[in-house]
Amino acid sequence: MFSLLVTFRTITIKDDFCYVQIIGITYTYSGGKFKMLLTMIKE
């Protein structure tokens, strides 16, 4: 069983605003299953 977890997080400050972008990619090789999660949080 092969499992790959990649998490990318970037914080950008523009015009006194804080943008938090969290990109999570989960790859699980078990019968050919692929799951991709994209989450964007704006504060």
Give pLDDT, residue 15: 55
| Total Cβ atoms within 10 A of residue 8 | 9
Give pLDDT, residue 9: 56
pLDDT at 3 over 50: yes
What is the pTM assigned to this prediction? 0.18
Give the strands of the sheet with 33-42, arranged side by side.
Answer: 2-14, 17-29, 33-42
